[in-house]
C-alpha cells in the first residue's frame, strides 16, 4: 500500500514538474517574442528618425522643391530666414526714420541695381532718414559682385543686408527673357515678417525724390499699393472683376496685414499652382491674391513708364477701369519721384533704347542720360559704360 502511495506521489510530482517546465518554456517564448518585437520597434524608430533627419537636412540645405518649403513656413516663420543664408546684416543706426527697401538681384542686373540704389541714396534726406536695403540674390550669385554694392558704403550712410534665395524656380515661366528673381518678391512677407511694411523696387528703376513720404503712405486696409498698369483685361479669364491692377515693379507691401490674413502662404501657393495660366506671372498673382485689397500709389511713383501723355491716353486710361486725374498724370510725367523703365526696349542703359509704345522715345533718351549721371557718382562708371555702350 505504501509502495502504491509512493508511486502515485512520484507520478504526481513528475506531472507537476512537467507542467511547471512547460509553463516556464511558454514564458521564455513569450519573453523572446516580446524582445524580438521590441528590437523590431527600435529598428523602425531608428529608420523613422533617420528618414526625418535626412529630410530635415535636405530642406535645411536649401531644398529645391517649393512644396517641401511651404508647410514648414506656415508652422514656423523663422525657418525661412534660417534657410536664407544671410551673408551680411548691418546694424541700423538709431535716431532716424527708417525706410526699408528690398530688391532682387542676379548677376545680370548688378549695375542697374547699383544705379537704382545710388539714385535713392543720393536723393534721401540724410539728416532725417536712414535707408535699409535688403538685397536678395540668386543662388548662383557671384560673390565677387558684393564689393560693387559695398562700394556705396564709402559714399552714403545706409544699412545694407544680403540674403541668398535657396529655392530654384527653373520650372517656372519667365517673362520675355527675364530671370527667376521676379518671383522672389512673393516671399517678402515671410522673409521680413518682423517689419510692418517694405518698399519693393525692380532693378530697372531710378529714384528722384526722398522716399519717406512713399514709405509712410496709409494703406487704408490694402495689402499693397502700386502704380496702375494697363492690361487689366488679361485677368478677366479668372472671373474676377479687377478694378485696380498694379505693376509689380514698384510696390509698397503691407507686411503686417498680409501675414495677419495668411496671404503670404496663399501668394506662394497660388503662384506655383497657376504659373502656366498667368500672363504677367508674379504680377498677376499679386493682383489676384490681393484682389479687392489693392491700392494705387500717387502717380509720381511710377506712372512715367508710359513716357508721355499720349501713351497714357492710349494705353492706360483706355484700359484702366477707373478714372485717373489727368493733372496728376501730367505732374508725374514732368516731375517723377520714381521711374520704372520697363517699357524701354532694349533697357534704358543701352543707347538705342526706345519706348515699346512707339512714341515717347524722349523718355528713354532723357533717363538714359540720367542713368549715366548717377553712374558717375559710383566707382564703376567706366565699367558700366563699357558694358552697355559699345
pLDDT tens sequence across 364-378? 788 889 999 999 999
In Å, how far are 203, 371, 387 from 363, measured between CA atoms? 18, 12, 22
pTM listed for this prediction? 0.77
Backbone angles phi, psi at 155, to 5 degrees: -110, -25
pLDDT tens sequence across 31-57? 777 888 888 888 888 888 877 776 555
Provide the CA 130 distance to its chain's centre, in angstroms: 23
Q: What is the pLDDT of residue 372?
A: 94
d(CA 153, CA 130): 13
User: CB within 8 A of 294, min separation 6: which ones?
Assistant: 222, 223, 224, 225, 226, 244, 245, 246, 287
Answer yes or no: is pLDDT of 362 > 80.
no
pLDDT tens sequence across 184-206? 999 999 889 889 999 999 999 99
Average pLDDT over residues 97-115: 96
Q: What is the pLDDT of residue 57?
A: 56
Asked if 210 and 123 touch (Cβ cutoff 8 Å), the reply is yes
In Å, how far are 1, 7, 36, 60, 106 from 31, measured between CA atoms? 45, 36, 9, 42, 64
CATH topology for the 78-388 domain: Spore Coat Polysaccharide Biosynthesis Protein SpsA; Chain A (3.90.550)
Q: Kindly report the average pLDDT of the chain as a whole number.
A: 80
pLDDT tens sequence across 115-157? 999 999 999 999 999 999 999 998 889 989 999 999 999 999 9
d(CA 112, CA 119): 11
Residue spans of the domains in the chain: they are: 1-61, 78-388
> What number of other Cβ atoms are within 10 A of residue 8's Cβ?
10
Q: Which is more confidently placed, 248 or 20?
A: 248
Amino acid at each position: 500500500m505504501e509502495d502504491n502511495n509512493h508511486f502515485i506521489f512520484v507520478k504526481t510530482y513528475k506531472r507537476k514538474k512537467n507542467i511547471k517546465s512547460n509553463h516556464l518554456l511558454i514564458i521564455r517564448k513569450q519573453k523572446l517574442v516580446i524582445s524580438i518585437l521590441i528590437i523590431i520597434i527600435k529598428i523602425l524608430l531608428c529608420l523613422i528618425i533617420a528618414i526625418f533627419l535626412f529630410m530635415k537636412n535636405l530642406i535645411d540645405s536649401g531644398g529645391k522643391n517649393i512644396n517641401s518649403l511651404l508647410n514648414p513656413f506656415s508652422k514656423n516663420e523663422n525657418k525661412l530666414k534660417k534657410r536664407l543664408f544671410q551673408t551680411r546684416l548691418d546694424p541700423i543706426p538709431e535716431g532716424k526714420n527708417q525706410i526699408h527697401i528690398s530688391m532682387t538681384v542676379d548677376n545680370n542686373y548688378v549695375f542697374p541695381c547699383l544705379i537704382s540704389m545710388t539714385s535713392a541714396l543720393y536723393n534721401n534726406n540724410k539728416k532725417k532718414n536712414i535707408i535699409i536695403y535688403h538685397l536678395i540674390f540668386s543662388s548662383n550669385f557671384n560673390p565677387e559682385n558684393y564689393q560693387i554694392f559695398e562700394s556705396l558704403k564709402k559714399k552714403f550712410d545706409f544699412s545694407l543686408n544680403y540674403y541668398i534665395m535657396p529655392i530654384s524656380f527653373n520650372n517656372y515661366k519667365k517673362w520675355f527673357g527675364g530671370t527667376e528673381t521676379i518671383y522672389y518678391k512673393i516671399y517678402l512677407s515671410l522673409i521680413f515678417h518682423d517689419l510692418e511694411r517694405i518698399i519693393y523696387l525692380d532693378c530697372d528703376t531710378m529714384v528722384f525724390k526722398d522716399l519717406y513720404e512713399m514709405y509712410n503712405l496709409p494703406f487704408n486696409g490694402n495689402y499693397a499699393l502700386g502704380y496702375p498698369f494697363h492690361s487689366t483685361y488679361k485677368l478677366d479669364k479668372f472671373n474676377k472683376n479687377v478694378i485696380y491692377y498694379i505693376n509689380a515693379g514698384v510696390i509698397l507691401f503691407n507686411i503686417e496685414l498680409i501675414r495677419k490674413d495668411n496671404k503670404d502662404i496663399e501668394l506662394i501657393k497660388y503662384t506655383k499652382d497657376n504659373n502656366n495660366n498667368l500672363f504677367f506671372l508674379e504680377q498677376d498673382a499679386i493682383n489676384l491674391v490681393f484682389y479687392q485689397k489693392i491700392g494705387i500709389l500717387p502717380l509720381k511713383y511710377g506712372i512715367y513708364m508710359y513716357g508721355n501723355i499720349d501713351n497714357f491716353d492710349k494705353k492706360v486710361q483706355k484700359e484702366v477701369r477707373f478714372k485717373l486725374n489727368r493733372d496728376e498724370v501730367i505732374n508725374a510725367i514732368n516731375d517723377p519721384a520714381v521711374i520704372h523703365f520697363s517699357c524701354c526696349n532694349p533697357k534704358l542703359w543701352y543707347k538705342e533704347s526706345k519706348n515699346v509704345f512707339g512714341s515717347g522715345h524722349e523718355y528713354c533718351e532723357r533717363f538714359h542720360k540720367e542713368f549715366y549721371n548717377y553712374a558717375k557718382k559710383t566707382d564703376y562708371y567706366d565699367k558700366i559704360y563699357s558694358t552697355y555702350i559699345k
